[in-house]
Amino acid sequence: MDMEKILIVGGSSGMGLALARRCLEEGAHVIIAGRSEAKLCAARDGLGRPGTLETAVVDISREDEVAALFTRIGRLDHIVSTAAAIEGAYRLLPEVELKAAQRVVESKFYGPLLLAKHGAPKLPPTGSLTFVSGIAAYRPAARGSVVAAVNAALEGLVRALAVELAPIRVNAVSPGWVDTPIWELVAGDAKNETLAAMARRLPAGRVGRPEDIADAIRFCPADRWVTL
Protein backbone atom coordinates (compact mmCIF):
# COMPACT_ATOMS: atom_id res chain seq x y z
CA MET A 1 0.00 0.00 0.00
CA ASP A 2 1.27 3.47 -0.85
CA MET A 3 2.14 5.76 2.04
CA GLU A 4 -0.69 8.17 2.85
CA LYS A 5 0.16 11.69 1.62
CA ILE A 6 -1.36 14.67 3.43
CA LEU A 7 -1.08 18.41 2.77
CA ILE A 8 -1.56 20.58 5.87
CA VAL A 9 -1.86 24.30 5.17
CA GLY A 10 -1.13 26.16 8.39
CA GLY A 11 0.99 23.25 9.56
CA SER A 12 3.77 25.36 11.05
CA SER A 13 1.97 26.26 14.29
CA GLY A 14 -0.96 25.56 16.58
CA MET A 15 -3.50 22.96 15.54
CA GLY A 16 -1.87 22.40 12.15
CA LEU A 17 1.49 21.64 13.74
CA ALA A 18 -0.10 19.24 16.24
CA LEU A 19 -1.89 17.50 13.37
CA ALA A 20 1.35 17.23 11.36
CA ARG A 21 3.04 15.58 14.34
CA ARG A 22 0.16 13.12 14.74
CA CYS A 23 0.14 12.18 11.06
CA LEU A 24 3.90 11.68 10.96
CA GLU A 25 3.73 9.45 14.02
CA GLU A 26 1.15 7.34 12.20
CA GLY A 27 3.49 6.89 9.23
CA ALA A 28 2.05 9.38 6.75
CA HIS A 29 4.00 11.52 4.31
CA VAL A 30 3.21 15.11 5.29
CA ILE A 31 3.63 18.43 3.49
CA ILE A 32 3.23 21.45 5.77
CA ALA A 33 2.53 24.69 3.93
CA GLY A 34 2.24 28.35 4.88
CA ARG A 35 3.29 31.89 4.07
CA SER A 36 6.32 32.10 6.37
CA GLU A 37 9.43 30.19 5.33
CA ALA A 38 11.01 30.88 8.73
CA LYS A 39 8.07 29.32 10.60
CA LEU A 40 8.04 26.34 8.27
CA CYS A 41 11.76 25.75 8.79
CA ALA A 42 11.35 25.94 12.57
CA ALA A 43 8.44 23.50 12.43
CA ARG A 44 10.41 21.12 10.20
CA ASP A 45 13.33 21.14 12.62
CA GLY A 46 11.02 20.51 15.56
CA LEU A 47 9.12 17.70 13.88
CA GLY A 48 12.16 15.85 12.54
CA ARG A 49 11.41 12.90 10.25
CA PRO A 50 13.09 14.43 7.17
CA GLY A 51 12.29 11.39 5.06
CA THR A 52 8.52 11.85 5.30
CA LEU A 53 8.15 15.61 5.84
CA GLU A 54 8.20 18.39 3.25
CA THR A 55 7.57 22.12 3.49
CA ALA A 56 6.02 24.47 0.94
CA VAL A 57 5.79 28.25 0.99
CA VAL A 58 2.44 29.38 -0.40
CA ASP A 59 -0.11 32.15 -0.03
CA ILE A 60 -3.43 30.38 -0.49
CA SER A 61 -5.18 33.65 -1.36
CA ARG A 62 -3.20 33.73 -4.62
CA GLU A 63 -4.57 31.36 -7.24
CA ASP A 64 -1.32 31.17 -9.21
CA GLU A 65 0.58 30.03 -6.11
CA VAL A 66 -2.07 27.45 -5.20
CA ALA A 67 -2.10 26.03 -8.72
CA ALA A 68 1.71 25.84 -8.76
CA LEU A 69 1.72 24.11 -5.36
CA PHE A 70 -0.48 21.27 -6.55
CA THR A 71 1.50 20.93 -9.75
CA ARG A 72 4.62 20.38 -7.64
CA ILE A 73 2.99 18.05 -5.13
CA GLY A 74 1.23 15.74 -7.55
CA ARG A 75 -0.77 12.89 -6.04
CA LEU A 76 -2.39 13.48 -2.66
CA ASP A 77 -4.71 11.57 -0.35
CA HIS A 78 -5.95 14.36 1.90
CA ILE A 79 -5.89 18.16 2.18
CA VAL A 80 -6.31 20.05 5.45
CA SER A 81 -6.25 23.79 6.07
CA THR A 82 -6.07 25.40 9.50
CA ALA A 83 -4.84 28.72 8.08
CA ALA A 84 -6.29 31.97 9.37
CA ALA A 85 -4.96 35.51 8.98
CA ILE A 86 -6.82 37.38 11.71
CA GLU A 87 -4.38 40.19 12.48
CA GLY A 88 -6.45 43.30 13.12
CA ALA A 89 -9.76 41.48 12.63
CA TYR A 90 -11.06 41.59 16.20
CA ARG A 91 -12.34 45.16 16.38
CA LEU A 92 -15.56 46.91 17.27
CA LEU A 93 -17.47 47.80 14.12
CA PRO A 94 -16.45 51.49 13.98
CA GLU A 95 -12.79 50.40 14.14
CA VAL A 96 -12.92 47.65 11.52
CA GLU A 97 -10.47 48.25 8.67
CA LEU A 98 -11.49 46.82 5.33
CA LYS A 99 -8.02 45.50 4.55
CA ALA A 100 -7.95 43.47 7.77
CA ALA A 101 -11.40 42.07 7.00
CA GLN A 102 -10.30 41.19 3.48
CA ARG A 103 -7.31 39.26 4.83
CA VAL A 104 -9.63 37.10 6.93
CA VAL A 105 -11.85 36.42 3.93
CA GLU A 106 -8.85 35.59 1.76
CA SER A 107 -7.35 33.14 4.26
CA LYS A 108 -10.51 31.41 5.51
CA PHE A 109 -12.83 31.55 2.49
CA TYR A 110 -11.02 32.21 -0.78
CA GLY A 111 -8.08 30.07 0.37
CA PRO A 112 -10.21 26.97 1.00
CA LEU A 113 -12.10 27.63 -2.22
CA LEU A 114 -8.84 27.65 -4.20
CA LEU A 115 -7.49 24.61 -2.35
CA ALA A 116 -10.63 22.73 -3.32
CA LYS A 117 -10.59 23.96 -6.92
CA HIS A 118 -6.99 22.98 -7.62
CA GLY A 119 -6.55 20.23 -5.05
CA ALA A 120 -9.62 18.08 -5.65
CA PRO A 121 -8.34 16.86 -9.06
CA LYS A 122 -5.26 15.49 -7.26
CA LEU A 123 -7.33 13.41 -4.82
CA PRO A 124 -8.59 9.85 -5.25
CA PRO A 125 -12.30 9.06 -4.75
CA THR A 126 -11.43 8.07 -1.17
CA GLY A 127 -9.70 11.41 -0.54
CA SER A 128 -10.85 14.29 1.62
CA LEU A 129 -10.65 18.01 2.27
CA THR A 130 -10.93 19.29 5.83
CA PHE A 131 -11.14 22.94 6.87
CA VAL A 132 -11.25 24.66 10.26
CA SER A 133 -14.04 27.11 10.97
CA GLY A 134 -14.77 28.21 14.54
CA ILE A 135 -17.24 28.69 17.36
CA ALA A 136 -17.68 32.34 16.36
CA ALA A 137 -19.99 31.17 13.58
CA TYR A 138 -22.56 30.16 16.24
CA ARG A 139 -21.66 32.25 19.27
CA PRO A 140 -20.37 35.59 17.99
CA ALA A 141 -19.18 38.24 20.40
CA ALA A 142 -18.57 41.95 20.24
CA ARG A 143 -15.42 42.68 18.22
CA GLY A 144 -15.88 39.41 16.33
CA SER A 145 -18.31 40.25 13.53
CA VAL A 146 -15.82 39.69 10.70
CA VAL A 147 -14.54 36.37 12.04
CA ALA A 148 -18.09 35.16 12.78
CA ALA A 149 -19.24 35.96 9.25
CA VAL A 150 -16.26 34.30 7.57
CA ASN A 151 -16.52 31.13 9.67
CA ALA A 152 -20.21 30.86 8.79
CA ALA A 153 -19.43 31.41 5.11
CA LEU A 154 -16.76 28.71 5.19
CA GLU A 155 -19.21 26.19 6.61
CA GLY A 156 -21.69 27.04 3.86
CA LEU A 157 -18.96 26.49 1.29
CA VAL A 158 -18.05 23.13 2.83
CA ARG A 159 -21.66 21.90 2.67
CA ALA A 160 -21.86 22.78 -1.01
CA LEU A 161 -18.49 21.23 -1.83
CA ALA A 162 -19.43 18.01 -0.04
CA VAL A 163 -22.24 17.62 -2.57
CA GLU A 164 -20.36 18.81 -5.64
CA LEU A 165 -17.13 16.88 -5.06
CA ALA A 166 -18.63 13.59 -3.81
CA PRO A 167 -17.40 10.90 -3.34
CA ILE A 168 -14.45 13.01 -2.16
CA ARG A 169 -15.37 13.92 1.41
CA VAL A 170 -15.41 17.53 2.58
CA ASN A 171 -15.68 18.53 6.24
CA ALA A 172 -15.29 21.48 8.58
CA VAL A 173 -14.08 21.16 12.16
CA SER A 174 -15.29 23.92 14.47
CA PRO A 175 -13.06 24.27 17.56
CA GLY A 176 -14.22 25.97 20.71
CA TRP A 177 -11.77 27.80 22.94
CA VAL A 178 -8.31 26.45 22.18
CA ASP A 179 -4.96 27.72 23.47
CA THR A 180 -3.12 28.53 20.24
CA PRO A 181 -0.83 31.41 19.17
CA ILE A 182 -3.86 33.18 17.67
CA TRP A 183 -4.88 34.21 21.18
CA GLU A 184 -1.76 36.34 21.46
CA LEU A 185 -3.19 38.41 18.61
CA VAL A 186 -6.72 38.44 19.99
CA ALA A 187 -6.09 39.12 23.67
CA GLY A 188 -2.45 40.26 23.82
CA ASP A 189 -1.12 40.39 27.38
CA ALA A 190 -4.52 39.31 28.70
CA LYS A 191 -4.34 35.93 26.93
CA ASN A 192 -3.77 33.78 30.02
CA GLU A 193 -6.37 35.65 32.06
CA THR A 194 -8.93 35.41 29.25
CA LEU A 195 -8.43 31.68 28.71
CA ALA A 196 -8.46 30.96 32.45
CA ALA A 197 -11.77 32.78 32.81
CA MET A 198 -13.29 30.77 29.98
CA ALA A 199 -11.92 27.50 31.40
CA ARG A 200 -13.89 28.12 34.61
CA ARG A 201 -17.10 28.33 32.53
CA LEU A 202 -16.55 25.17 30.49
CA PRO A 203 -17.83 21.73 31.55
CA ALA A 204 -14.35 20.21 31.02
CA GLY A 205 -12.82 22.80 33.32
CA ARG A 206 -10.14 23.76 30.81
CA VAL A 207 -9.76 25.19 27.33
CA GLY A 208 -8.66 22.95 24.50
CA ARG A 209 -5.11 22.18 23.44
CA PRO A 210 -3.93 21.96 19.84
CA GLU A 211 -3.57 18.20 20.30
CA ASP A 212 -7.25 17.92 21.20
CA ILE A 213 -8.30 19.50 17.92
CA ALA A 214 -5.70 17.51 15.98
CA ASP A 215 -7.57 14.39 17.09
CA ALA A 216 -10.85 15.80 15.74
CA ILE A 217 -9.32 16.91 12.45
CA ARG A 218 -7.55 13.58 11.96
CA PHE A 219 -10.84 11.75 12.32
CA CYS A 220 -12.23 13.37 9.16
CA PRO A 221 -9.67 11.97 6.69
CA ALA A 222 -9.43 8.67 8.57
CA ASP A 223 -13.14 7.80 8.54
CA ARG A 224 -14.12 7.03 4.96
CA TRP A 225 -17.82 7.62 5.60
CA VAL A 226 -17.99 11.01 7.28
CA THR A 227 -18.71 14.03 5.08
CA LEU A 228 -20.57 17.23 5.83
Instruction: List, for residues 49-98, the tens digit of each pLDDT value.
Output: 889 999 999 999 999 999 999 999 999 999 999 998 888 888 999 999 99
Q: What is the pLDDT of residue 164?
A: 98
Does 36 participate in catalysis according to the annotation?
no
Q: Which residue in 61, 133, 145, 174 is the catalytic one?
A: 133
Give me the mean pLDDT over the 173-181 stretch.
81
Tell me: pLDDT of 228 over 80. Answer: no
* Contacts by residues 152-159 (CB-CB < 8 Å, ≥ 24 positions apart): 153/105, 153/109, 154/108, 154/109, 154/112, 155/228, 157/109, 157/112, 157/113, 158/112, 158/131, 158/133, 158/228, 159/228
pTM (two decimals): 0.90
Beta bridge partners of 169: 128
Tell me: pLDDT of 1 over 70. Answer: no
Domains of the chain with bracketed CATH:
5-222 (3.40.50.720)
- Total Cβ atoms within 10 A of residue 172: 23
